[in-house]
Structure 1
Amino acid sequence: MNGAPIAWLGRPVLFAGLEQIERLDHRDHLVVHGRLPSMPIDEVADLAENVDLRGRGGAGFPFATKIRAVAKSAARRRARPVVVVNGTEGEPSCLKDAALLLRTPHLVLDGALLAADALDAEQVVLGVTRADTEQSLRTALAERRSTPLPVSVARLPERFVSGEGSSLARGVTGGLALPRGGGVRTSDSGVGGLPTLLSNAETYAQLAVAARLGALPYREVGLPSEPGTVLLTLAGSQVVETPTGVPLGELLAMFDLDIGQGVLTGGFHGTWLTPEAAATAVISRQSLRGLGGALGAGAILPLPPTTCPLGEVVRVSRWLADETAGQCGPCYLGLPALTTALEEVVLGGGRAALQNVENLMRAVTKRGACSHPDAAARFVASALEVFDEDLQLHSQQYGCGRPVQNVLPLPAEESAASIVVDWTLCEAHGLCTSVLPEVISLAADGFPSAAVMPVPPQLLQRAARAVDRCPALALKIR
């Protein structure tokens, strides 16, 4: 099965039954979890409130508030609502929802059907972007043979913005998977203009577990203020189920990871923690938020001491800019400009370049059709604060001296060209890597570490500058 490795601390809850087998089919699911109870809307909302169930897709919005809002809107409009499962997970650093959909899809289906039954919903729609999660859900529906109301699986474009609420609500019905803006909540007008309950896969799986256990047994695990377990994606490759309250540093050490230069919490829409803050953090929304971090979508990305932190930030900033929906200025124009300005800082642009970055961060904030530009600016601002010493080295001197090792996970980039080194001419001046650190790294002897280096399309212009800067004329673009 194509999916990230999974693990758990203590007794697994969401991953129960996966100790011996790779995927729970419907029969195995019923053996492990038992039958799903039926609950009226008030009981579902009260249960979600009693266990402090919040959205696990990033925003952390209380599920009880959301389902009550949908019920109220449906009653006012005398319309049957729609339940949507967000399984898109368009960020490369997040794999937890995919792990659920691939290995225990019936738990997610149970949570969605429980909410749909309580709301007297018209249908359930599961939005995904990956071929393997789509197939897993279709297989799961076939294993059930029938469902009490229509359930469908919709495949959306594999883009970051596909998972934004209004974008998903439009995309699952065949419309453009783009944010609509305007401040209209999906609880009032979502799929087909109907009141829509929209949450991510883990949230529905947690609801299904809580409905079977009841509030008090559910609360026996984790912190009293944030009970239960959470799914985390560590270093973009390992999905772990852990009770809340576990120290972050201890959790990383269990999986041979180190705090290093700092830890990005909440993924690429999240924020960085300094090593000192990360050493005192525990896995909880309150703890991470109090230290300047975020639980967000559950991505935890420690940065090892061997890579250039600001070079890594530039890579992610460029990817965030490329993932724009292209329909509003702060995203379509502002984020690429912000990334270019950040590159100038990293290349030694000094105070003027840094001031340009600060101006652009303010310019894109609170002006987009969705939260993407705000979150991208927050990611950059957090990095500049946490990696302040490196910022000074890059902006005022000649950089930190570390190569960019591409530690932060991004999709494989298609190469438009390659830089080729002529070893008979190269004199190890090293000027090329100061212009293009994302592509050209130097070995211990000062020479480029490879003879042929692929260049992503968005870096072609700077690749040409690197070639021009070589005094020995040892580089060419092929």
Structure 2
Amino acid sequence: MRRLGPARLTAGLDQHRRLDLNTHYTFHDQLPGETVDALIGMTEEVDLRGRGGAAFPFARKLRAVAARARDSDTVVLVNAAEGEPASMKDKMLLTRAPHLVLEGALLAASALGSKEVVVAVAAGDLAEASVSAAVAERGLEGYVRIAGIPERFISGEGGALVRAVNGAAGLPPGRRTRSSDSGVYGLPTLLSNTETYAQLAVLAELGPEEYASVGTVQEPGTVLLTVGGSVVVPAVVEVTPGVPLAAVLDLCEASVGDGVLLGGYHGRWLSAADAYGAIVSRRGAAEAGGELGSGIVVPLGGDTCPLGETTRVASYLAAQSAGQCGPCRLGLPDLARAMADVEDGSPDGPDMVRRAAAAVKGRGACFHPDGSARFVLSALEAFAEDVEEHRLHGTCGRPVTEVLPLPIVDEADVRLVVDWTRCAGHGLCAHLVPELVKLDHHGYPVFMDGGVPSWLRGEAQKAVEMCPALALRIGTK
């Protein structure tokens, strides 16, 4: 944990590893209850936005649920399903300052008269144990429910989260339904992420005027950034909007090299020059050609191949889709393969990436295809010189050192494995699982990197069983 500015969300964390209830109240005030109108007024005055990536106005969500509360029970849902591998800020808050998050959630629940508060967190995570202990300290086990859900990249998508909490598969529902209309138990639900509820608690404690005494006029307060990648000091950093991104990079002793990923795997790459000129804020990031998103900052360094790093993540994103619609099932694997062609130096690679991205943008059941396309397309711009180097020489001469974090692969993770001494190029596998297999110009299969997603394992097994040459099997690398 590091800071550039006042300690608000991170107050006391330089002295204590974790703030239990008594220690929490040495750094924060006990909050009086607020009416829903007062809470809406405060959040509107400082324009409090969601900190999960979409930056949706919190007051609008609160007002929508309050309008339904007149005729229905309501639920408050804390989205702590931080499935983004490069983000640690929500895990840090729940692990080290869980009572600040609970204060915000309970404040909203009291104002709405909610029947329950649900904290949805990755099952088995250290944060789950910490928040469970915090609930027990408050004696609220019958009112605050901890919902442990499987951790996937799309776990935090609103519809997927609600489905998981309701006991269904944690996948986007295929149609966009507002949680304020129908969420947990089908009730109007106030859904926002971990940091947003912590910010709400700080706002109620300080009041709008003091809360807005730091930051910018448009974006007051502080914000949490997760800084990883090619840095000496990986950290969650609390900063005030308006500071240069360069100051954050220097604080963490970053080696920027070719560029910086801003906003995570649904964000954008910035060239080194653009990153050093950027300001930390939603507006500042946009002016630099990026987006702040969920507050992820990953400097790349100069020792790894930026195109190879992008290809790794593109393959991961394709495997992490819900597999429910064409843009995810077919489009994202195509996008990953096109990016691999760019890495291999194909002169047609960049155009193939643009075509694959155009085929998925705006067509998915959720925003996963759009975010994945944005991430890959930004690499073509930020690393234009590397694209040309690969086109001319087939490589930039650097290995892929895996600077961008991805989940550790489970040994049970399955994949299609081919015995090349048997493969005769019949091409049936590409027909049965086009999401995983394409044919090269000789008619032989080219397999997408990464494991077989759970939603494709039946089709993959069918491809194994029907291979005329018995060249395929399902196994591990």
TM-score tier by shorter-chain length is 0.7 to 0.9
Amino acid at match of 2:364: G
How far did 1:260 drift?
Answer: 2.1
Superposition pairs for residues 218-297 of structure 1, below 5 Å? 218-235=211-228, 237-297=234-294
- 1:192 corresponds to which of 185, 188, 193: 185
SS at match of 2:280: coil
1:118 and 2:111 correspond = yes
Superposed CA offset, 1:428-465 (max 9, x none):
xxxxxxxxxxxxxxxxxxxxxxxxxxx9657xxxxxxx
1:309 and 2:303 correspond = no
Which residue matches 1:442?
none
Count of paired positions: 415
Amino acid at match of 2:132: R
Amino acid at match of 1:173: N
How far did 1:10 drift?
Answer: 3.1
How far did 1:204 drift?
Answer: 0.1
Amino acid at match of 1:392: E
Which residue matches 2:135?
141
Amino acid at match of 1:138: S
How far did 1:360 drift?
Answer: 1.1
- Cα contact 1:321–1:336 (8 A) shared by 2: yes
- Partners of 1:19 and 1:44 lie apart in 2 by 30
Which residue matches 1:9?
4
Which residue matches 2:323?
326
Amino acid at match of 2:288: L
Amino acid at match of 1:92: P
Which residue matches 1:18?
13
Amino acid at match of 1:265: L
- Cα contact 1:414–1:457 (8 A) shared by 2: no
Which residue matches 2:354?
358
Moved more, 376-385 or 181-190: 181-190
- 1:68 corresponds to which of 53, 59, 63: 63
- Cα contact 1:88–1:130 (8 A) shared by 2: no
1:335 and 2:332 correspond = yes
Moved more, 95-104 or 14-23: 14-23
- 2:199 corresponds to which of 200, 206, 210: 206
SS at match of 1:350: coil
- Cα contact 2:262–2:290 (8 A) shared by 1: yes
Which residue matches 2:35?
40
How far did 1:333 drift?
Answer: 1.7
Superposition pairs for residues 45-64 of structure 1, below 5 Å? 45-64=40-59
How far did 1:19 drift?
Answer: 2.1
- Cα contact 1:84–1:198 (8 A) shared by 2: yes
How far did 1:183 drift?
Answer: 2.2
Which residue matches 2:391?
395
In the alignment, structure 2 segments of 5+ residues that lack a partner are 416-448, 453-475
In the alignment, structure 1 segments of 5+ residues that lack a partner are 1-5, 418-454, 459-476
Superposed CA offset, 1:293-315 (max 9, x none):
11111100111111111000000
How far did 1:397 drift?
Answer: 3.2
Amino acid at match of 1:270: G
How far did 1:413 drift?
Answer: 2.3
Matched-pair identity in %:
51
- Cα contact 1:345–1:395 (8 A) shared by 2: yes
- Partners of 1:164 and 1:73 lie apart in 2 by 22
Amino acid at match of 1:358: R
- Cα contact 1:249–1:259 (8 A) shared by 2: no
How far did 1:292 drift?
Answer: 1.3
1:386 and 2:382 correspond = yes
Amino acid at match of 1:97: D
Moved more, 17-26 or 313-322: 17-26
- Partners of 1:325 and 1:279 lie apart in 2 by 36
Amino acid at match of 2:289: G
Which residue matches 1:176?
169
- Partners of 1:456 and 1:291 lie apart in 2 by 32
Amino acid at match of 1:254: L
- Cα contact 1:249–1:258 (8 A) shared by 2: no
- Partners of 2:162 and 2:100 lie apart in 1 by 22
- Partners of 2:312 and 2:204 lie apart in 1 by 42
- Partners of 2:268 and 2:324 lie apart in 1 by 25
Superposed CA offset, 1:303-350 (max 9, x none):
111111100000010111111111111112211121112112211221
How far did 1:9 drift?
Answer: 2.1
- Cα contact 1:414–1:456 (8 A) shared by 2: no
Amino acid at match of 2:343: V
- Partners of 1:67 and 1:395 lie apart in 2 by 52
CA RMSD of aligned residues (A): 1.9
Amino acid at match of 2:406: L
- Partners of 2:3 and 2:393 lie apart in 1 by 45
- Cα contact 1:173–1:192 (8 A) shared by 2: yes
Which residue matches 2:472?
none
- Cα contact 1:247–1:282 (8 A) shared by 2: yes
- Partners of 2:237 and 2:29 lie apart in 1 by 23
Which residue matches 2:407?
411
Which residue matches 2:345?
348
Which residue matches 1:155?
148
- Partners of 1:137 and 1:216 lie apart in 2 by 30
How far did 1:173 drift?
Answer: 2.0
Which residue matches 1:450?
none
Which residue matches 2:468?
none
- Cα contact 1:101–1:133 (8 A) shared by 2: yes
- Cα contact 2:256–2:302 (8 A) shared by 1: no
1:91 and 2:75 correspond = no
- Cα contact 1:50–1:215 (8 A) shared by 2: yes
Which residue matches 1:374?
370
Amino acid at match of 1:51: V
